[in-house]
Structures are given as structure tokens and as C-alpha cells.
């Protein structure tokens, strides 16, 4: 906003003998309404995206939404665009160049800042292998290179070197400040404390995550002291709600979620807007005078909060929380990538995909198409569904393929959280396999006892994390004496004794070694976990090609006879005994 001051009736210098200067007329007194007239308030639209997971094709149409909103704000304010992390990992077009295209497209879209999420570490060194291959490899090499290339900062306020201070990487500050329509906006970026356990562990070695509360509180106070009128937190930590008509009604929300806990503990109003992520859910609510918004995942839409600021003193006078802007839904009514739908208008203007963003992403999409279209030689007789927290046809199929790929293993175990898409009916392609299994995990082999495995399953059933999926064994859980008991049987029905030694094929996500990961937290013998270096997705593709047959849903999933049977719903609670 530009302020122009006009000073009337002032004459500089002595007129001397020159022509007579007429006396300036007396200026009329300003009326009360003119003297007290407030400056026009400034509206800052804070737009948040999250968990793109490499869905580059969605970006040109999202750019149209952002451009229309910027045009709508031209006369009364501006737009702040942030992302809450997990930008790169998830599609062939993004993975083939390790996130380079995503970074370039985000720069063209005009992002002001992006938080580093857990899956930003998945690419490891800046070469084709997903983990370090020798002592000279930097396990964060790809991420650091993407940060150097970015036209915006990648924020990491609570990411630190073990035993030291916050990470000191180029273009990775804790926070940044942008000037929008004359308003100073401070942006903090942070990640979930679960990050060490939700990425490839080898790539996170030597790092730690500080607690969100003290980190965000200190940085927000610092931004306020430096003059920021608005403070935004882009956090790769999230919540989950199902109703959005009233931002103050939290009945449909998981109020125990990480981001809700943080907002409740922060001083009221210290942070104006939290753009959340990580949980792939929707939020558009107010907690402790803080707006929390989250916009699902995979380029399905965006969040928006309109913050009205009084220019004279920088005070926030109004905060309007918009419902999540879902730009596309699939046939089941769930949010889907924006590229899969037609789009009409937003903010009174037609929506036309951004040609400059399309020019960046189209090349990567075309490059990936050849690999994506490769047929794997099997046909699915019907659609196979996935499930994060429950047994699923896709999850069971993947566990079976892992056991086939490691015939020395008695049992294979994978994680429902790593299975990301259904497999469609018809001839299966590598692209569809990659979409369902996008992570570059490698095989780990674990030697343990039946009792160890039962304990692993007990722990998993007592949590809300991704379910463990089995091949080569069946497990039944029951509440007994207030405690959860798990019994294991082989495929032929023979019971697996607690002291029976088993070889398990799993991933380096679940069993990274050195006391970490789900398996690593068991009390196993030294050397019980070994990594094979074999990529799991490549092994799945090889096993499917070797099968060359029709796969039926009933071959991998029987809802009446689950591989893991348990009482009630997860997390299972059996009382206090």
C-alpha cells in the first residue's frame, strides 16, 4: 500500500522584489470523519498445500487456482504460499530425477517457503542408490542439492545434528520473513517428531528432531520481536477432522493429534496460522486462537486462511478459515490429484492450467511414461484395494511377493503404511505397481523367535500406525485377563512356539538395524538384522513377471479368514487387567 502526503500552502525562500505572491487560502479544517478515517485493511491469504508425493501433473491446474487468488488480492492485499512437506517422493516422474522437477515447478508456482517432511530424506545420496554405498556418500546428498536449487527456502526449525545445534545446510533456515502488501509475515517450518521412524533410517543417521513446542514457541517470539505482524507455521505434523462447517466445532477432530496438542500448548495467538500435513487428512479449525488447516494429499487441493491486518499498528483484526479446497474427487468421493478432474472457475475467473508450470512438469511426465507403461505379464481379475490400518488385498499380495523373492524366509512382513494405492483391474503395468509401492526400500532379513514376533504384533495392534501384513503365517489376537495375547500358526495350521526360531523377510524401513525401527526395538541378538541391498519393488516386479498369470482377489484376501485376526478395532485395548 502506498501512502501519499500533500503539504499545501508552504513557500520556500524569500520572494524579494519579484511579483507579489498571493496569500494562500486558509485550508479548510478536516471533518471528524476524514481525520479519523482508517487506512484500508490488508488481507493476506495464507495458502497451504502438503504431501504432494510427486504428483507433478496436478501442479499446472493448482497454479491456476493460485493465480486467480493472487489476482483477487491485487487491490486489498496479497498471498502467502507455503507447503508442509513430503513434496518429492511418490511418483516415477518425480523419483526419476530425485525431486528436481518438483523443486523447479514449486519455484515457478511462487512458493514462499516449504517445510522439510519425513519423506524428503528418502532419496538419500545424490545418485541412483537410495542409501549410502560407501563412507564418502552423504545420506542427505539429494535433499541438500534440491535445497540449493530452490528459489525458496526449505525450512527446518527442529531438525538438528545429534549432540549439536540445528542443521547448517545451504538454504535450509529455521524460518523466513516475507513482505506481502506492506505486511511482515514470518514463516516457520518444522517436522513431526516421528520423522526418524518414518523414513529410511540409514538416511537419517546422525540427526535428531527437537520437540515442536519449545522450538516453535521460541522462533515465533523471535519473529514477533523482529516486527512480524503475522506468523505462519508450516508443519509436517498433522491432525484429522471430518466436518468443516464450523471451525470452532472440534467434535469431528482427533484432538489428541500432534498438531492439536501443539496448538493447545502454544501461547494463544502467538502463531496465527498452522499449515499442517503428514496425516493426509483435512483440517480447517481453530484451536487456542490459532487457525489450523490441512489439505489432504497428492495434489488434491489446498487450504486457505484470510488474515486481515490493520496497517497502522500491524494488528490482526480478523481471521477467516476456509474449508479445504478439494479440487478433485475420485469415484468413491475421496480427494484425488487435481489433474484427474475438469475445473471451472475460482474467485470469479476461469481456471486455465499454468503453461509455464506445465512446461516444467510435462517433460518429466513424458520421460516417466515409458517405464510406467511396461506390462508385468499378469492380469488382475478385479480391482485390488489397499488399506492403511487394516488387512488388504494389495498388502497381502505384496507380502506374498516378498516371501517369494526371499525363499529362505519362513515369513514375510510388510507395512500397510507403505502401500499407497489400489491396483486396477486388467493387465498390470509397472507404473501401477510403482504408484502402490513408491518407496525405494530394500530387503532386511531378521532372525527372531515366535515369541519375538508375537510381541511385535501385539505392539502394532496397540497402536494406530500402519498395520503389519503377513505372508507364511496367520496370527490371532484376543484379550485375556486384561492383556492382549497373540497366537501364531503357519499356513498349514501348525502352531508356532514362542521359542521357535524364524527367518523373516521385511523392509529396511521396519528393520533398519542398530536398535531402530519396529524390529530393532525388540531385544534381539546382535546381528539378528541384516540388509540385503535388494530393492523390494524391483523384486516384486520380477516375481509378477515370473508368475505370468491371472491374480484373483480371493487368491490373496479372504475377509472371513484374515491373516491377522484381532478383537474390536485398532488400537486394541484390553482394559487394565
Report yes or no: 202 and 512 within 8 Å, Cβ to Cβ: yes
Report yes or no: 70 and 79 within 8 Å, Cβ to Cβ: yes
Percent of the chain with pLDDT over 70: 92
Angle between helices 393-405 and 536-547 (to 10 degrees): 90
For residue 413, pLDDT beyond 70 = yes
pLDDT of residue 515: 58
Report yes or no: 340 and 327 within 8 Å, Cβ to Cβ: no
Report yes or no: 152 and 115 within 8 Å, Cβ to Cβ: no
pLDDT of residue 35: 44
Q: What is the pLDDT of residues 227-269, one digit of tens each?
A: 999 999 999 999 999 999 999 999 999 999 999 999 999 999 9
The pLDDT confidence band at residue 126, using thresholds 50, 70 and 90, is confident
pLDDT of residue 576: 54
pLDDT of residue 301: 97
Sign of CA dihedral 473, 476, 480, 485: positive
Mean pLDDT of 416-431: 94
| 3-state per-residue secondary structure call for 309-322 | EECCCCEEEEEEEC
CB atoms within 10 A of CB 390: 17
Helix, strand, coil: what percent of the chain each, to 5?
A: 25, 25, 45
pLDDT of residue 392: 96
Burial class (CB in 10 A: 0-12, 13-18, 19+), 110: middle
Exposed e or buried b for every residue in 483-503, given b needs 16+ CB within 10 A?
Answer: ebebebeeeeeeebeeebebe
Could you give the C-alpha distances from 192 to 85, 133, 157, 199, 468, in angstroms and in order? 10, 28, 11, 12, 22
Q: What is the pLDDT of residues 32-72, one digit of tens each?
A: 444 454 579 999 999 999 999 999 999 999 999 999 999 99
Distance from C-alpha of 105 to C-alpha of 56, rounded to nearest angstrom: 8
Distance from C-alpha of 524 to C-alpha of 426, rounded to nearest angstrom: 43
For residue 10, pLDDT beyond 90 = no
CA distance between the termini of the chain = 66
Phi, psi of 494 (to 5 degrees): -70, 135
Q: What is residue 118's DSSP assignment?
A: G
Mean pLDDT of 69-80: 97
CATH top class, domain 43-365:
alpha beta
Tell me the pTM. Answer: 0.82
pLDDT of residue 465: 82
Closest CA relative to residue 397, chosen from 433, 427, 429: 433
pLDDT of residue 15: 34
Beta bridge partners of 230: 185
Percent of the chain with pLDDT over 90: 78
Mean pLDDT of 264-285: 97
pLDDT of residue 135: 73
Look over the chain and give the mean of its residue pLDDT values, rounded to a whole number.
90
- SS3 state at 233: strand
Mean pLDDT of 13-29: 40
The pLDDT confidence band at residue 516, using thresholds 50, 70 and 90, is low
Sign of CA dihedral 370, 443, 472, 485: negative
- SS3 state at 497: coil
Q: What is the pLDDT of residues 430-443, one digit of tens each?
A: 999 999 999 888 89
- Tell me the domain boundaries of the chain: 43-365, 374-565
Report yes or no: 439 and 433 within 8 Å, Cβ to Cβ: no
Q: What is the pLDDT of residues 342-377, one digit of tens each?
A: 999 999 999 999 999 999 999 999 999 988 999 999
Exposed e or buried b for every residue in 34-53, given b needs 16+ CB within 10 A?
Answer: eeeeeeebbbbbbbbbbbbb
Distance from C-alpha of 439 to C-alpha of 1, rounded to nearest angstrom: 47
Q: Do domains 43-365 and 374-565 have the same CATH topology?
A: no
Distance from C-alpha of 511 to C-alpha of 129, rounded to nearest angstrom: 18
Mean pLDDT of 210-235: 98
Q: What is the pLDDT of residues 281-292, one digit of tens each?
A: 999 999 999 999
CATH code for the part of the protein at 374-565: 3.90.780.10
**Cis link prior to 571 (omega < 30° from 0)?**
yes
pLDDT of residue 28: 47
Report yes or no: 124 and 88 within 8 Å, Cβ to Cβ: no
Query: Highest-confidence range of 10-24, 503-517, 532-546, by mean pLDDT?
Result: 532-546
pLDDT of residue 37: 46
Amino acid at each position: 500500500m502506498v501512502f501519499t502526503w500533500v503539504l499545501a500552502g508552504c513557500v520556500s525562500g524569500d520572494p524579494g522584489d519579484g511579483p507579489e505572491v498571493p496569500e494562500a487560502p486558509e485550508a479548510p479544517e478536516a471533518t471528524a470523519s476524514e481525520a479519523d478515517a482508517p487506512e484500508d485493511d490488508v488481507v493476506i491469504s495464507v495458502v497451504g498445500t502438503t504431501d504432494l508425493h510427486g504428483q507433478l501433473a496436478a501442479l499446472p491446474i493448482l497454479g491456476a487456482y493460485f493465480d486467480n487468488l493472487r489476482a483477487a488480492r491485487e487491490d486489498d492485499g496479497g498471498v502467502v504460499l507455503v507447503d508442509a512437506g513430503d513434496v518429492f517422493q511418490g511418483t516415477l516422474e518425480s523419483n526419476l530425477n530425485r525431486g528436481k522437477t518438483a523443486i523447479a515447478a514449486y519455484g515457478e508456482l511462487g512458493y514462499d517457503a516449504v517445510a522439510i517432511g519425513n519423506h524428503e530424506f528418502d532419496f538419500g545420496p545424490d545418485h541412483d542408490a537410495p542409501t549410502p554405498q560407501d563412507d564418502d556418500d552423504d545420506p542427505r546428498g539429494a535433499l541438500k542439492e534440491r535445497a540449493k536449487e530452490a528459489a525458496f527456502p526449505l525450512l527446518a526449525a527442529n531438525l538438528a545434528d545429534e549432540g549439536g545445534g540445528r542443521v547448517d545446510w545451504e538454504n535450509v533456515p529455521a524460518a523466513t520473513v516475507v513482505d506481502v502488501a506492506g505486511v511482515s509475515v514470518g514463516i516457520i517450518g518444522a517436522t513431526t517428531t516421528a520423522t526418524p521412524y518414518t523414513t529410511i533410517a540409514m538416511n537419517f543417521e546422525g540427526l535428531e528432531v527437537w520437540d515442536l513446542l519449545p522450538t516453535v514457541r521460541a522462533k515465533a517470539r523471535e519473529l514477533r520481536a523482529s516486527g512480524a505482524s503475522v506468523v505462519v507455521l508450516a508443519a509436517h505434523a498433522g491432525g484429522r477432522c471430518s466436518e468443516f462447517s464450523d471451525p470452532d466445532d472440534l467434535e469431528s477432530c482427533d484432538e489428541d493429534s500432534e498438531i492439536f496438542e501443539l496448538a493447545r500448548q502454544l501461547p494463544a495467538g502467538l502463531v496465527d496460522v498452522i499449515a499442517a500435513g503428514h496425516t493426509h487428512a483435512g483440517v480447517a479449525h481453530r484451536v487456542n486462537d490459532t487457525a489450523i488447516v490441512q489439505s489432504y494429499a497428492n495434489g488434491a487441493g489446498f487450504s486457505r486462511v484470510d488474515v486481515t491486518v490493520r496497517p497502522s499498528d500491524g494488528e490482526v483484526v480478523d481471521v477467516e478459515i476456509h474449508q479445504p479446497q478439494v479440487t478433485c474427487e475420485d469415484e468413491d468421493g475421496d480427494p484425488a490429484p487435481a489433474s484427474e478432474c475438469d475445473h471451472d472457475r475460482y474467485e470469479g475467473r476461469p481456471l486455465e492450467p499454468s503453461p509455464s508450470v506445465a512446461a516444467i512438469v510435462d517433460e518429466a511426465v513424458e520421460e516417466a511414461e515409458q517405464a510406467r507403461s511396461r506390462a508385468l505379464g499378469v492380469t488382475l481379475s478385479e480391482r485390488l484395494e489397499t488399506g492403511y490400518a487394516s488387512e488388504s488385498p494389495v498388502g497381502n499380495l505384496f507380502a506374498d511377493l516378498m516371501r517369494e523373492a526371499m525363499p529362505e524366509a519362513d515369513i514375510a512382513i510388510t507395512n500397510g503404511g507403505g502401500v499407497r494405492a489400489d491396483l486396477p483391474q486388467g493387465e498390470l503395468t509397472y507404473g501401477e505397481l510403482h504408484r502402490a509401492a513408491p518407496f525405494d526400500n530394500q530387503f532386511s532379513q531378521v532372525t527372531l523367535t515366535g515369541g519375538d514376533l508375537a510381541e511385535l504384533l501385539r505392539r502394532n495392534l496397540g497402536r494406530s500406525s500402519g498395520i503389519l501384513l503377513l505372508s507364511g503365517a496367520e496370527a490371532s489376537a484376543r484379550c485375556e485377563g486384561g492383556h492382549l495375547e497373540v497366537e501364531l500358526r503357519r499356513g498349514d495350521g501348525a502352531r508356532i512356539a514362542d521359542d521357535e526360531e524364524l527367518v523373516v523377510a521385511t523392509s529396511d524401513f521396519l528393520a533398519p538395524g542398530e536398535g531402530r525401527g519396529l524390529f530393532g526395538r525388540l531385544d534381539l541378538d546382535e546381528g539378528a538384522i541384516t540388509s540385503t541391498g535388494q530393492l523390494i519393488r524391483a523384486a516384486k516386479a520380477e516375481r509378477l513377471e515370473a508368475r505370468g498369470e491371472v491374480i484373483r482377489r480371493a487368491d490373496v484376501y479372504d475377509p472371513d479368514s484374515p491373516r491377522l485376526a484381532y478383537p474390536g478395532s485398532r488400537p486394541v485395548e484390553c482394559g487394565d487387567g
